[in-house]
Homo-oligomer: A and B are copies of this chain.
Amino acid sequence: MESKKFLLQEKDIPTAWYNVVADMPRKPRPLLNPVTKEPMKAEDLFPLFSEEVSRQEFNDTDRWIEIPDEVRDMYRIWRPTPLVRARGLEKALDTPAHIYFKNESVSPVGSHKLNSAIPQAYYCKKQGVTNITTETGAGQWGAALSLAARHFGLELAVYMVKVSYHQKPYRRSIMQTYGAEVIASPSMSTKAGRKIITENPHYQGSLGTAISEAVELAMATPNCKYTLGSVLNHVALHQTVIGLEAEKQMEMAGEYPDVVIGCFGGGSNFSGVTFPFMRHNLAGERSTRFIAAEPASCPKLTRGVLQYDFGDEAGYTPLIPMYTLGHNFAPANIHAGGLRYHGAGAVVSQLREDGFIEAVDIPQLETFAAATLFARSEGIIPAPESSHAIATAIREAQKAKEEGTSKVILFNLSGHGLIDMASYDSYIAGDLQNYEVTDEMVQANIASLDKII
């Protein structure tokens, strides 16, 4: 039997991140100041973010950006991660397709989020920041940042979306074990939170609301910066270590992917696994397909519009040119909490508009069926988020079987589901359901965008 895993050594951890913006035929439109609606520059972000990530956010010329030694040192806790040929899944599907997955679930916090948490915390520390804030959905980003903050000696406050705070109490415990403060959002600790609680005392929260609270606290706290786990260019940049490693590993396997798949919330793991492969499409050398796998209950890339919108609910953030369902969109309480976000990052949105990215939306029950099949055939219980990528890979593998063609499929296993077992319980008990987004819901939210710009 051929090798199942393709393993790199520590020396193979990338030394630079890949900045796809440098290679894009059409650059994304600029971020706009939320008040003046004027295009923003890196310096305009300095009050909110560390200076270094602010500069990275606007860098559209440097293809490669060096990874600091302090960051690579910490990457070595768990990187490089394995690339796995999913022979068990192939056999279960009886497909001629070759299925590979990049296993980002082996990080100590169980997901890819640490790839960006480390540089973000590092750059804050380097410029003398003492406190940071953030939001988290399912808790993957919050857990990762808690570990990174502890490592660099920063105090961290995390606003965790209320529904996940209760659905996933273990993630809260993980953050607290690393030493972070965790607040269920919406909360009474911010103006944005108070407003929403007053209007709707039973509101279970959203990433958009939690971002508003985290931004507000950062702006009100001395020597404090805000950090974000997805959506923005610099986050996608940091995540490219996934695809850069995977590229070397596919070479070890002697294959090149016909299709690369990532689940899609704001775009962090999707960008991370796809951009390094996409650079060969942008250079005209390859015609690989890239598929973003969204939840059917939050389908911005498949059913939203490309339009300037806020990144948060209260309208504190810069205006971002994004595929969006409207920043007030309240997604259903699916268990893939990390995908419950109304918009896609500017870079992904531009690449989608320009035809480099496909998108599919997957109903919740299909994701859990895929997750269970994957767990039983490959041994790893996947995160509900990652299960969207698995379901999409299965669709592609089944298509290959129907068509009688071979095909090389690569997807990113962004995280494991060991903290999400309550959602598997619900699935086993038959308590889960699909959530439909009606055209009326989308239209109503999108209509409100016209007032923004």
Interface residues, chain A, with chain B CB atoms under 8 Å away: 1, 3-5, 7, 9-10, 73, 76-78, 88, 106, 108-110, 147, 150-151, 169-170, 173-174, 176-179, 372, 375-376, 378-381, 416, 418-419, 421-422, 424-425, 428
Contacts and interface: CB of A to CB of B under 8 A. Distances in A.
A110 B110 CA distance: 11
29 contacts: A3-B10, A4-B10, A4-B73, A7-B10, A77-B378, A106-B106, A108-B378, A108-B381, A108-B416, A109-B379, A110-B418, A169-B425, A170-B170, A170-B418, A170-B419, A170-B422, A173-B421, A173-B422, A173-B424, A174-B381, A176-B425, A177-B372, A177-B381, A177-B421, A177-B424, A177-B428, A179-B376, A418-B419, A419-B421
A372 B150 CA distance: 12
Given A1-B73, A372-B177, A379 B147 contact: yes
A176 B423 CA distance: 12
Contacts of A88: 151
A181 to B, nearest CB: 12
B108 A380 contact: yes
Contact of A418 (B7, B174, B178): B174
Nearest to A88: B151
B169 A421 contact: yes
**Chain A interface secondary structure, helix, strand, loop or mixed?**
helix
Contacts of A150: 376
Contacts of A3: 10, 76
Contact of A379 (B108, B378, B379): B108
With a 10 A CB-CB cut-off, give which of A108, A375, A419 has the most chain B CB atoms. Answer: A108
Closest 8 CB pairs of A and B: A170-B421, A173-B421, A108-B379, A108-B380, A4-B76, A77-B379, A173-B425, A177-B424
Contacts of A77: 4, 378-380
A440 to B, nearest CB: 37
Contacts of A425: 169, 173, 176
Given A173-B421, A179-B376, A378-B77, A9 B7 contact: yes
Contacts of A418: 110, 170, 174, 418-419
B5 A76 contact: yes
Given A5-B10, A108-B378, A174-B418, 16 more contacts: A1-B73, A4-B76, A88-B151, A108-B380, A108-B416, A151-B379, A173-B422, A173-B424, A176-B425, A177-B372, A177-B381, A177-B424, A177-B428, A178-B375, A178-B376, A418-B418
B170 A428 contact: no
A173 B109 CA distance: 20
Q: Which among A73, A76, A173, A419 has the greatest number of chain B C-beta atoms within 10 A?
A: A173
Contacts of A109: 379
A167 B14 CA distance: 41
Contacts of A174: 381, 418, 421, 424
Contacts of A424: 173-174, 176-177
A73 B380 CA distance: 16
A140 to B, nearest CB: 12
Contacts of A1: 73
